[in-house]
């Protein structure tokens, strides 16, 4: 039986640990806080996923795993560099389960790993997945992206089950761009709904966001067709329509007139789109990203929702 290490005992890390156990693996789930790790290990319950018991194949600890067939990094994007640098050296492939762009460096997840773990095999797991549904074993699919086909096959064999279908993809750039951009676009979609602008407006925004996502993916060296897959369109649809999405719900609150500071003050979990928006726009440079740029300006207080919508609707007319 192969061992899996999952770094990060938030909702997504816990769900992935449960999924790996469901696939027949022994799992070590790492929590940063020792007291929290001990409480979860004893009660077999994680407050981040209320009511869901951890199966017996999962061991929860505050000690980073040193031996595993694969290590899943399910920590927020802005913590990825620090956590990856602390991992004990091993030959286990690293699977990034975070989505976003690193503030300051403007790096994508696998670019961060290439800097802090040079030479270590790595892939990215991304797609339209809410943690609770995966933890409960509801049907879901995800993309496992990396350039090494043998590694993709190996990781798929370790993690996939009948209810959790994994699709390989060699376009890691496109998969990472989709995962980062969808959080930003979900804030915009939520703001549209929160402001009462209607479903027509949300549908138009999601569709035009796909054009932005395609332009950026191609500009960074990815493929346009990846945008229409699970890591692009699939993740975008889920995050822009599902009330469980932290980014969508933040946008709804903004659309209702709440301030960003007030919204974040009530949250114990990270809303990735807040840090990703300005980093994504900066990484895009000359790529035309009007919706993502509007979200970055809105979050920074440089514009209002009314003004942002006015500016987007006033853009020059053109063929689709």
* Catalytic site positions: 182
* CA-wise closest residue to 126 among 16, 215, 22: 16
Alpha carbons within 13 angstroms on the beta-carbon side of residue 269 total 19
Q: How far is CA 271 from CA 16, 104, 121, 236, 247, in A?
A: 19, 18, 28, 15, 6
Q: How far is CA 244 from CA 38, 240, 292, in A?
A: 28, 10, 21
* CA-wise closest residue to 125 among 88, 163, 70: 70
Instruction: Give yes or no for a contact between 13 and 135, defined as CB atoms under 8 angstroms apart.
Output: no
**Residue whose structure tokens are 């979200």:** 295
**Residue whose structure tokens are 């027949």:** 24
> Using CA of residue 54, residue 20, residue 113, residue 246, what is the dihedral sign?
negative
Which of left, alpha, beta for 314 (phi over 0: left; psi -120 to 50: alpha)? Answer: alpha
Number of residues that make up the chain: 320
Q: How far is CA 15 from CA 55, 137, 255, in A?
A: 11, 9, 30
Q: How far apart are CA 199 and CA 219, in angstroms?
A: 30
DSSP string, 248-308: HHHHHHHHTT--HHHHHHT-SS--HHHHHHHHHHHHHTTS--HHHHHHHHHHHTSS-HHHH
């Amino acid at each position: 039986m192969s061992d899996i290490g999952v770094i990060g005992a938030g909702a997504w890390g816990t769900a992935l640990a449960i999924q790996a156990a469901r696939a027949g693996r022994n799992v070590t789930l790492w929590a940063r806080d020792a007291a929290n790790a001990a409480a979860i290990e004893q009660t077999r319950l994680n407050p981040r996923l209320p009511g869901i018991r951890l199966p017996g194949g999962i061991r929860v600890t505050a000690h980073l795993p040193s031996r595993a067939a694969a290590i899943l990094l399910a920590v927020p994007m802005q913590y990825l560099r620090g956590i990856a640098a602390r991992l004990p050296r091993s030959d286990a492939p690293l699977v990034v389960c975070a989505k976003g762009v690193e503030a300051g460096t403007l790096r994508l997840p696998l670019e961060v790993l290439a800097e802090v773990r040079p030479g270590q095999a790595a892939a990215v797991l991304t797609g339209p997945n809410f943690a609770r549904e995966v933890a409960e074993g509801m049907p879901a699919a995800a993309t496992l992206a990396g350039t090494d086909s043998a590694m993709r096959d190996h990781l798929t064999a370790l993690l996939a089950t009948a209810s959790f279908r994994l699709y390989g993809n060699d376009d890691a750039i496109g998969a990472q761009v989709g995962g980062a951009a969808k959080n930003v676009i979900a804030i915009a979609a939520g703001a549209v709904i929160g402001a009462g602008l209607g479903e027509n407006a949300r549908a138009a925004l999601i569709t035009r966001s796909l054009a932005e996502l395609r332009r950026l993916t191609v500009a960074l060296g990815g493929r346009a067709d990846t945008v229409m897959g699970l890591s692009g369109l699939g993740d975008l649809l889920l995050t822009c329509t599902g009330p469980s999405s932290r980014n969508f719900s933040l946008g709804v609150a903004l659309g209702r007139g709440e301030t960003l500071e007030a919204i974040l003050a009530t949250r114990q979990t990270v809303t990735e789109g807040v840090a990703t928006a300005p980093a994504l726009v900066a990484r895009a440079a000359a790529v035309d990203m009007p919706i993502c740029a509007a979200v970055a300006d809105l979050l920074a207080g440089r514009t209002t929702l009314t003004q942002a919508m006015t500016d987007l609707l006033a853009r020059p007319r053109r063929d689709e």
